[in-house]
Structure 1
Amino acid sequence: MLRPPPSDLSLAEMHASVRIPHAAGWLRRLGAFVGPGYLIAVGYMDPGNWATALAGGSAFGYTLLSVALASSLMAMLLQALCARVGIATGRDLAQLCRDRFPRPVNLVLWALAEVAICATDLAELIGTAIALNLLFGIPLLVGVVLTALDALLILWLQHRGVRWLEALVAGLMVLVFGCFAAQMVLAQPDWAAVLGGYVPSGSILTNENQLYIAIGILGATVMPHNLYLHTAVVQSRAYGEGVEDRREAIRFATIDSSIALTLALFVNSAILITAAAVFHAGGRTEVAEIQEAYELLAPMVGTAAAATLFAVALLACGLNATVTATLAGQVVMEGFLGLRLSPVIRRLVTRLIAIVPAIIVTWLYGESGTAELLVLSQVVLCLQLPFAVIPLMMFAGDKVRLGAQAAPRWQVVLGWACTVVIVAMNLKLLWGFFMG
């Protein structure tokens, strides 16, 4: 299959920059592919996910753990298809849309993708600002402005190499994992009930409130920008041009993303479990604000460490997610529009597109409206999600473009089934939102 010319490479400064030791053993070759999955996984545990997990755990205990599990399994399949599309074609999802669809359609898709990234960044910037406020007393608006510095951090890390960027993200994920492991020890959940929560319950479909929060968990899990980003970052590996080389790259990239998303599932589950063990068990069934959860954790658990761990994990999640959202903005802008800017200008443009709306709404609403803003960001993502998932599924089974690496029939069938479920659930969430 022909590769794109050097002038049209996705994330050109990263492209094929990580050497694969083809003559080494299986484990070393797999290790060379570990990294992109963690850049993707952070989008599955951003502050928008925190809001829905807190609401679900405090209101219904462990019941909605099954929804978190199902959402993560869907995400694993969709991200595996992203890796396949990116490796097989040498194009990211935005570039493939530009190749296939008329220019007016592409401009609409680009605008929708930018809106989705703004909505994602809104949740992430506000989550980071809340964490800075809780830990250091920094005002919310100042905290949002400070997050603009992540663009400089990405430039420095990318200059050092994509592995440095991946190491930062993976390190922060491990920090979040450790915080919540300690958090759950302090919360002392009912582990038998936790395991039972992963078994689907009929009450989720019959109880309207449970169903609404379940849809919110699903809507906050699969992020549109992750689909664009994953098809690009998997191309940072120099996996070779042969059919067998690409087949092995797809296999290793799928293992990488699946392990990283399993870690993200643990974090999302831990938030819900902590909310269930502390708030639901303590009779506080309406906790949805992140600040309220922070204030209640210490007195209800009995130690200030619980609240501190909560805020540190929130800060790490927010920083991680803003880094990857900025990268996704680059992929979307370059892929749909074919623009080639210098790294500094490109970073500033993609960051400004996302941060300006966040500053405006934070200034207008202040600290009192953070929960509403987080919910609003998830609703906006719901509107955009079909415009990313459907093109992905169109390309995943396209044997003309993917050749021998086209997705097997069972993946295509499951992928379209997930697409139908995600779109239907999100439409219901939107209906509920607009109908009050």
Structure 2
Amino acid sequence: MTGFIYAISGGKAALAHDAQLSANMRRMVGSGVLVAVGYIDPGNWATDIAGGSGFGYSLLMIVITSAFLALGFQVLVSRLALATGQDLAALTAQHLSPGWAKAAWLAGEAAILATALAELIGGAIALRLLFDLPLIAGVSVTGIGTFAVLALTRGNADRHERVIAVLLAIVAASFVFLLFKANPAWTEVAHGVTQTGHALRNPQGFLIALGILGATLMPHNLYLHSGSLAERAQALPADARDMAMRVARNDTIVSLSVAMLINSAIMIVAAASLSGSGIMVSSLDDAHAVIGQTLGVGAAIVFAVALYAAGQSSTITGVLAGRILSKGFQIRSNWSDRRRALMTRLIAGAAAVGLLVFTGGKDPDELLVLSQVILSLALPFALGPLVLLACRKRLMGQYALKGAWAWAAISATVGIVMLDGYLLVDMVV
């Protein structure tokens, strides 16, 4: 009888353990959606449209390659968070020199401001295309939309992910529609992929390719991804970490694959509808106008709606990344998410309005380019610590990068930093 009772109680304990494990694994899903939106912000639109309109499908392979590189680093940062139970910001502050940690924090904050700038400018352009609203008024309306989204989510992580998933779905559905309207010749798309080398030999094509790479990997996304998973990993037993890493990896692969397909669709639509149109497409306004001419007014409206959704989708992620930065780098702040969002948007909004007034409101796409320059400058301060920490066996234990994987991560980091530096020099000089 005693043995029977023991078996029953042991079975209940096993069931409870399995239920808890299942619940923990479900919590590993969703963080990939948070970071996926960083790959379809207005800065990505600008580079994808420039590549598609200027070089057809020849730079499509660059979009795909950049996405795979970014995917590798996002999986790596998720591995770091799940192996240690801490986020990249906290680990940088604890294990690297104070000078490096402070530089990384400042670079991360700059990246968040740059993202807020791109969000406000992209939203303002979308509202001008939809309602002929002046850019400065559009910046204000977009900022108000930010707080509407934050009020809707109310600091709840699940709500964050659901709202972002809805915005991501709007962008994805819009480009499925635009692909249907553009009706590209898929044999030409396939042939264009083989012509990447020809496009890269053109100086302008090479610069656009670097821009695509620079706009793809966002430094604040690394902090956000690690912070989101580190919080969820702290309740994990040691024997569940392998499974958690597989679940988080698959979640990241699925989410970023969707983002890659959206970026590819942007370039394909641009190539099919804008390339050879006879109109020089150098801005989102030009792209909207030509899409209206070639695909119809309805397609142009869908394009503008998707642009606004893409801009707003980065709202929550920027605020969350800022909170993770402050906490990880031990910056004393009692600010709520809403107060942080307010300050970030006020600074970015003031910068946007000031630059728009200075330029007379002409060519706002240049401000999107500026945001990408800032992100390129900030990127090494996140990638360097990530790879360095991921290779430390004393920190990562059995999950430390070693051998060919370590060399691949180091080589990719050095290559990306050098290419970003080249792009920055070309933009400034």
Calculate the TM-score normalised by the size of structure 1. 0.88
Give, in angstroms, the shift of residue 404 of structure 1. 2.4
Match of 1:428 in 2: 422
Match of 2:4 in 1: none
Give, in angstroms, the shift of residue 157 of structure 1. 4.6
CA RMSD of aligned residues (A): 2.3
Whole-angstrom distance in 2 between the partners of 1:172 and 1:225: 19
Match of 2:97 in 1: 102
Contact 2:121-2:364 at 8 Å conserved across structures:
yes
Instruction: Establish whether residue 70 from structure 1 lines up as the match of residue 65 from structure 2.
Output: yes
**1:219-254, CA deviations, whole angstroms, 9 ceiling, x for partnerless residues?**
111111111111101234367342221222121111
Match of 1:139 in 2: 134
Question: Which amino acid in the other structure matches residue 396 of structure 2?
Answer: L
Match of 1:149 in 2: 144
Match of 2:83 in 1: 88
Match of 1:326 in 2: 319
Range 180-189 or range 226-235, more displaced: 226-235
Match of 2:189 among 190, 194, 201: 194
Whole-angstrom distance in 2 between the partners of 1:414 and 1:271: 29
Match of 2:41 in 1: 46
Contact 2:55-2:199 at 8 Å conserved across structures:
no
SS in 2 for 1:324: helix
Instruction: Establish whether residue 162 from structure 1 lines up as the match of residue 128 from structure 2.
Output: no
In structure 2, do the counterparts of structure 1 residues 136 and 71 end up closer, same or farther at CA, with 3 Å as the change threshold?
same
Whole-angstrom distance in 2 between the partners of 1:263 and 1:22: 33
Match of 1:391 in 2: 385
- Identity, % of aligned pairs? 40
Match of 2:411 among 407, 413, 417: 417
Give, in angstroms, the shift of residue 366 of structure 1. 4.7
Match of 1:10 in 2: none
Match of 1:8 in 2: none
Range 368-377 or range 183-192, more displaced: 368-377
Whole-angstrom distance in 2 between the partners of 1:366 and 1:92: 42
In structure 2, do the counterparts of structure 1 residues 342 and 30 end up closer, same or farther at CA, with 3 Å as the change threshold?
same
Give, in angstroms, the shift of residue 34 of structure 1. 2.4
Contact 2:24-2:236 at 8 Å conserved across structures:
no
Contact 2:103-2:381 at 8 Å conserved across structures:
no
**1:65-91, CA deviations, whole angstroms, 9 ceiling, x for partnerless residues?**
000000000011000011111122222
Whole-angstrom distance in 2 between the partners of 1:316 and 1:155: 15
**1:290-345, CA deviations, whole angstroms, 9 ceiling, x for partnerless residues?**
011111211122x2111011001101100001221222222223322432414243
**1:328-384, CA deviations, whole angstroms, 9 ceiling, x for partnerless residues?**
222223322432414243443344444432332233335312121111221222122
Range 311-320 or range 401-410, more displaced: 401-410
Whole-angstrom distance in 2 between the partners of 1:294 and 1:27: 46
Moved over 6 A (4+): 25-29
Give, in angstroms, the shift of residue 154 of structure 1. 5.5
What is the correspondence of 1:283-432 to structure 2 with a 5 Å cutoff? 283-284=278-279, 286-301=280-295, 303-343=296-336, 344-407=338-401, 409-432=403-426
In structure 2, do the counterparts of structure 1 residues 356 and 92 end up closer, same or farther at CA, with 3 Å as the change threshold?
farther
Whole-angstrom distance in 2 between the partners of 1:350 and 1:246: 35
Larger radius of gyration: 2
Whole-angstrom distance in 2 between the partners of 1:193 and 1:330: 46
SS in 2 for 1:422: helix
Give, in angstroms, the shift of residue 115 of structure 1. 1.8
Give, in angstroms, the shift of residue 29 of structure 1. 6.9
Calculate the TM-score normalised by the size of structure 2. 0.89
Range 21-30 or range 270-279, more displaced: 21-30
**1:37-73, CA deviations, whole angstroms, 9 ceiling, x for partnerless residues?**
1110101110001111111101100000000000000
SS in 1 for 2:158: helix
Question: Which amino acid in the other structure matches residue 67 of structure 1?
Answer: I
Range 197-206 or range 393-402, more displaced: 197-206
Question: Which amino acid in the other structure matches residue 416 of structure 1?
Answer: I
Match of 2:3 in 1: none
What is the correspondence of 1:201-350 to structure 2 with a 5 Å cutoff? 201-237=196-232, 240-284=235-279, 286-301=280-295, 303-343=296-336, 344-350=338-344
Give, in angstroms, the shift of residue 195 of structure 1. 2.4
Match of 2:113 in 1: 118
Whole-angstrom distance in 2 between the partners of 1:209 and 1:304: 31
Whole-angstrom distance in 1 between the partners of 2:281 and 2:247: 40
SS in 2 for 1:368: coil
SS in 1 for 2:364: helix
**1:87-142, CA deviations, whole angstroms, 9 ceiling, x for partnerless residues?**
22222211111112333332222222222222222112100111122112322112
What is the correspondence of 1:14-25 to structure 2 with a 5 Å cutoff? 23=18
Structure 2 spans left out of the alignment, 5+ residues: 1-15
